[in-house]
Chain A
Amino acid sequence: MIEVNNLVKRFGDHLAVDNLSFTVEKGQILGFLGPNGAGKSTTMNIVTGYISATEGSVIINGHDIFDEPEEAKKCIGYLPELPPLYQDMTVKEYLNFVADLKMVKKSEKNKMIAKIIGMTKIADVSERLIKQLSKGFKQRVGLAQAMMGFPDVLILDEPTVGLDPMQIIEIRDLIKRLSKDHTIILSSHILSEVSAVCDTVMIINKGKLIVSDTPDNLSKHIGGSNGLHLQIKGDKEKINAALSDIEEITKIDYESGAKDGIITLTAYCSEDNDIREAVFYALSDARCPILNMQSSNMSLEDIFLEVTQSKGRNKHGQGLGRRKNGPVKSNEAPSQAATDQVAALQKEQNQETESEEEN
């Protein structure tokens, strides 16, 4: 169990973490999401006791990381952004050293090392020097290091960076399995990863918490309403007449340029209504066959871009506000607006990295 209260970290004038608070219960996976330089790694470094906080407190299993560092650190396994590996050791030697460092009992040590090697699938390379390993294997050895001693809390900074898709799936499964008896915080800027693994997602930008919710709720809430994306064969007036009979529909967006008599549209209704059946019967009565029907909730990508971008324009928390015009037409992507947003985001990130380097 992790409790973080009003965490603030300043590097000179640069505010890296701005009043961050959150709680992670046992068995939960919390995902930090944010662009580069958002303060994810800094927060993790503070939570693990590697660096201090300017203000605020971190409590791990009832031990304050600043007041009782030894006790608190016993409960933590940490995989930093760059796995802390000694290049001149073999994998086995390294894990042996880490086990000693984390005060694993002599009687359990060999068994535990063998188990962890099996779980992270590094048995084939266990006799090789770490400097000769590929990035993916180094990352796994780093993960094995964090798991050593099976601490209650695992903190993983971008655990799947540098892995191939097959390995990413394996590591994700491993993290999910670990979450049964560990509390896990992981960070990522890969959105699909966070939505696949985490119970709760925290989107952070410029050190500030922007949104914190489950991945499902996030896409529901931020969308503001449910959308149904439809491709229908038939006449526009006929379809319109059929759909307007359904009371739940609040708004219909037609896409321009009907091809071969196929109309593409998005129908919106309020969150808790399901209009799929009604739409099906209405259109079948009107003899307009539905070719494609798909709910168009905002994907995490859209939410991410939305909240990290709107942060710059509006004040804190605006990302959660419902927009009156209905959600972004996500299926229309990649629109010019979206590409502009991405470009702007990248530009912003570059500036941030530069200013960090100056520090």
Chain B
Amino acid sequence: MLAIYKKELKSYFTSMTGYVFIAFFLVIIGIYYVIYNMIQLYANFEYVLSSVSFIFILLVPILTMRLMAEENKQKTDQLLFTSPLPVGKIIAGKYFAVLTVFLTVMGIISLYPLILMQFGTLSLKVAYGSILGFFLLGAAYIAIGLFISALTESQVVAAVVSFVVILITALMDGIVNLLPKDKKSAWIILSIIIIVLCWLAYLMMNNLTISLSAGIIAEVVLTVFYLIKPTVFDGLVSRVFNWFSVIARFDNYTQGVLDLSSAVYFISIVFLFQFLTVQAIKKRRWS
């Protein structure tokens, strides 16, 4: 695992990617820092982080697009997957390498509140709490980017898909407000989701009976629930879609709440997508 980690980290800094990522990140944060804290004289570093969370939409794809797509394209995955290292460790090594690049940025950012301290008082707890939240948010996005990169041979496709996925999770907050809140549309939307999931399961497993019967069972359960306890369906759609709103979880941290459930949420995303990446790679080799 250490071999992969070292190799990945090195490749970030022998190519431009690592430097571009760090520089771009620092420039954007620097601009907001100057505007909020130096010109408008807010004593809140968390405002900066809250405003720059959109940065992940642009920068995470740059960081993660290469990870597996390049290996698939250059056929160097043949070297990795015929080595004695299990797939999980290879993926973990790669993930930690990206995380290290990201941590470099976070390390530099951690100095900013201290600089601010020289000119007045500010709540360090809130500032560092929000930096922690920011880091967890980034870690979750990087895991998603890594997963998408493992699905394709093309860096461009990986970058575009990661961009869109992260954009959707960022816009989800606004989308949720537009969704209908009554019971009937909740039932319809959930039914559509079940159909889509079954179709995906069919594509992945190529087994019509399993996916079809699973879909029918889910649909029946849903309908029975709807008939027996319709109150559950009030506002269900927005609740379901809120699960996908990754950025909204970060907002708590910027308001000075050290939200444990959000931390668990981010960390489970990391593990879930690590797991999915390994499964995707295995599936490709086993089909």
Residues in A with CB closer than 8 Å to B76 are 84-86
Contact between B14 and A101 (Cβ–Cβ < 8 Å)?
no
Residues in B with CB closer than 8 Å to A80 are 75, 78
A324 to B16, CA, bound (A): 69
Residues in A with CB closer than 8 Å to B15 are 88
The B-contacting residues of A in range 41-71, CB under 8 angstroms, are 45, 48-52, 69-71
Known contacts: A88-B11, A100-B3, A100-B6. The answer to whether A50 contacts B81 by CB under 8 A is yes
Kindly state whether residue B111 has any CB partner on chain A within 8 Å.
no
The A-contacting residues of B in range 195-218, CB under 8 angstroms, are none
Kindly state whether residue B84 has any CB partner on chain A within 8 Å.
yes
Min distance, Cβ B252 to any Cβ of chain A, angstroms: 41
Contact between A145 and B11 (Cβ–Cβ < 8 Å)?
no
Partner of A84, one of B79, B84, B85, B286: B79
A-contact bits for B69-83, CB 8 A (1 contact / 0 none): 000001111111111
Residues in A with CB closer than 8 Å to B78 are 45, 50, 78, 80, 84
A102 to B79, CA, bound (A): 10
Residues in B with CB closer than 8 Å to A51 are 285-286
Kindly state whether residue A73 has any CB partner on chain B within 8 Å.
yes
Partner of B75, one of A82, A93, A102: A82
Contact between A101 and B11 (Cβ–Cβ < 8 Å)?
no
The A-contacting residues of B in range 1-54, CB under 8 angstroms, are 2-4, 6-7, 10-11, 14-15
Residues in A with CB closer than 8 Å to B83 are 73, 101-102
Kindly report which residue of chain A lies nearest to residue B70, judged by CB atoms: A86
**Chain A CB within 10 A, most for which of B3, B15, B79, B85:** B79
Kindly state whether residue B86 has any CB partner on chain A within 8 Å.
yes
Min distance, Cβ B165 to any Cβ of chain A, angstroms: 28
The B-contacting residues of A in range 284-334, CB under 8 angstroms, are none
A88 to B74, CA, bound (A): 12
**Chain B CB within 10 A, most for which of A45, A84, A101, A102:** A101
Partner of B14, one of A45, A52, A76, A88: A88
Residues in B with CB closer than 8 Å to A86 are 7, 11, 74, 76
Residues in B with CB closer than 8 Å to A84 are 74-79
A317 to B61, CA, bound (A): 55
Known contacts: A84-B76, A88-B14, A100-B3. The answer to whether A52 contacts B285 by CB under 8 A is yes
Min distance, Cβ B7 to any Cβ of chain A, angstroms: 5
Known contacts: A84-B76, A86-B74. The answer to whether A101 contacts B285 by CB under 8 A is no
A281 to B81, CA, bound (A): 65
A140 to B248, CA, bound (A): 53
Contact between B86 and A70 (Cβ–Cβ < 8 Å)?
yes
Contact between A101 and B81 (Cβ–Cβ < 8 Å)?
no
Residues in B with CB closer than 8 Å to A70 are 84-86
Partner of A101, one of B4, B77, B86: B4
A69 to B286, CA, bound (A): 13
A145 to B74, CA, bound (A): 16
Contact between B6 and A87 (Cβ–Cβ < 8 Å)?
no
**Chain A CB within 10 A, most for which of B6, B7, B82, B285:** B82
Kindly report which residue of chain B lies nearest to residue A82, judged by CB atoms: B75
Contact between A73 and B82 (Cβ–Cβ < 8 Å)?
yes
Residues in B with CB closer than 8 Å to A45 are 78
Kindly state whether residue A275 has any CB partner on chain B within 8 Å.
no
A100 to B83, CA, bound (A): 10
Partner of A49, one of B2, B6, B82: B82
Kindly report which residue of chain B lies nearest to residue A145, judged by CB atoms: B79
The A-contacting residues of B in range 240-287, CB under 8 angstroms, are 285-286
Kindly state whether residue A74 has any CB partner on chain B within 8 Å.
yes
- Nearest 6 Cβ contacts at the A-B interface: A100-B3, A84-B79, A84-B76, A52-B286, A74-B84, A48-B82
Binding site for A on B (CB under 8 A): 2-4, 6-7, 10-11, 14-15, 74-86, 285-286
A-B contacts, 30 listed (Cβ < 8 Å): A45-B78, A49-B82, A50-B81, A51-B286, A52-B285, A52-B286, A69-B86, A70-B84, A70-B86, A74-B84, A78-B82, A80-B78, A82-B75, A84-B75, A84-B76, A84-B77, A85-B76, A86-B7, A86-B11, A86-B74, A87-B74, A88-B15, A97-B6, A100-B2, A101-B3, A101-B4, A101-B79, A102-B83, A102-B84, A103-B84
Binding site for B on A (CB under 8 A): 45, 48-52, 69-71, 73-74, 76, 78, 80, 82, 84-88, 93, 97-98, 100-103, 145
Given contact pairs A52-B286, A145-B79, enumerate 9 new A-B contacts (beta carbons under 8 Å).
A50-B82, A73-B83, A82-B75, A84-B74, A84-B76, A85-B74, A88-B14, A98-B79, A100-B2
